[in-house]
Structure 1
Amino acid sequence: MGGTLRVAVLGAPGVGKTAIIRQFLYGDFPERHRPTAARRLYRPAVLLNGAVYDLSISDGGPGPAPAPAAASASAAATAPATSAASSGSASASASASSAAASAATSAASSAGDGGLQELPDLKDWSLQDMDAFVLVYDICSPDSFDYVKMLRQQIAETRPAGAPEAPIIVVGNKRDQQRQRFSPRRALAVLVKKSWKCGYMECSAKYNWHVVLLFKELLSSVLARGCKHSHPAIRLQGALHPNRCSLM
């Protein structure tokens, strides 16, 4: 575990997972989309309420995790953070099951042409031990929301018996394309918070809107679950200088 809080950022291809992470760590936005071919790890240190914490941020991809992509101290200093909340158990409604099944069919048929890919097997990704999850979807793509729905269910199903629930926040990215959204924000927020028992927020990776708040709320949610005192995944590093960390 190495004294690190492990966060997985998951979602369908093209929803902006890497863009959100890069805005948080480096304050930049890649104008051209480059598919993430394999899972990448970023290891920044963040400063929250005067305390410094190590993070291991996993950028979800279909392949195994390679050696960590170290975020430089100076680069990490430019980052932001955003919304969080509680984790939840899988929804048992029949409508959710049928929607998930249709989305899975659509995902499988569109793999390889820039569409949604088949749902990854989280057991093979060693994600059962993650301390928190960020599930990203595109507010203009209902398919990407269905993909997140299936991810949330799989996370709940693969969580080891007796393990504490990990906070999950569902993030609607591309808020700058508000006019093209497929559903009102309020309706989605109510569904995620009340039925899924997860946190919900929206952001724009392109314009760095609510990105810092996302990670700030996520970390605060983990700490609120008692991890600060009982979970070895979080470590205070008083020797680190604030200018070498992401400030939140």
Structure 2
Amino acid sequence: MVTTFKIAVLGAQGVGKSAIVRQFMYNEFSETSVPTNTRRVFLPAVVMNGHVHELQIMDFPPISSFPVNTLQEWADSCCRGLRSAHAYILVYDICCFDSFEYIKTLRQQILETRTMPAKEDTTKAKKVKVSPPGIGISSCISTLSSSPELQITATQE
């Protein structure tokens, strides 16, 4: 059986989210930037520890806030699938403090909404333990030389 992992890539406008996804998917980097206006979904398969895993990489345009519930998620078409992601890659531009503040806020919203305890069902009195999602933070650095390079630094908590 093949396991599917959903990964959401989030960040402010122009920080390099799509460039990171393109570099992972196709091993290419383009110096031109085209703003992401709608959610883009990529479906690669990877082999890890001898097992095939499908990835669903979702490249999102900038969002005003992380949806607090499923209704809010589905009300905005660009947020669909965001709350069900297994992992989040938060991307910021190391030269832009505002982009770091943006992902810091998103990270807090993700942690607050994804780790909320489930409402207790009085008929069954069963508590549901929700495990927090994986969150990685990446920074994009472009050099000032004639051919910019992209460096990716990822950390996981």
Q: TM-score, normalised by structure 2?
A: 0.72
1:166 is aligned to 2:133: yes
Q: Which residue matches 2:76?
A: none
Report 1:185-200 matches (<5 A): none
* Contact 1:15–1:137, Cα closer than 8 Å, also in 2: yes
C-alpha displacement at 1:120, in angstroms?
3.3
CA distance in 2: counterparts of 1:137 and 1:144, whole angstroms: 5
Q: Choose the corresponding residue for 1:131, options 86, 91, 98.
A: 86
- 1:133–1:140 Cα change, 3 Å: same
RMSD of aligned C-alpha atoms? 2.5
The equivalent residue for 2:126 is none
Higher relative contact order (CA 8 A, sep 6+): 1
Shift of 1:24: 0.4
Structure 1: 4+ residue segments shifted above 4 A: 208-211
**Following superposition of structure 1 onto structure 2, how do residues 35-54 of structure 1 map, counting pairs within 5 Å?**
35-54=35-54
- CA drift of 1:52 comes to 1.9
CA deviations 1:113-142 (Å, max 9, x no partner) are: xxxxx6234342242221011000000000
C-alpha distance in 1, partners of 2:24/2:150?
Answer: 8
Would you say the 8 A contact 1:138–1:144 is kept in 2?
yes
Match in the other structure for 1:146? 101
Give the C-alpha shift of residue 209 in structure 1: 4.2
Instruction: Check if 1:26 corresponds to 2:26.
Output: yes
| Between structures 1 and 2, the one with greater helix share | 1
Contact 2:140 2:150 in 1 (8 A): no
Q: Distance in 2 between matches of 1:45 and 1:208?
A: 24
**Amino acid of the residue matched to residue 50 of structure 1?**
G
Residue deviations 1:15-51, cap 9 Å, x none? 0000000000001112211100101110101122332
Structure 1 CA distance, aligned partners of 2:87 and 2:43? 15
Give the match for residue 120 of structure 1. 65
Unaligned runs of 5+ in 2: 74-78, 118-128
Instruction: Give the unaligned 5+ runs of structure 1.
Output: 63-117, 179-205, 222-248
2:121 corresponding residue in structure 1: none
Aligned equivalents of 2:46, 2:143: Cα separation in 1? 30
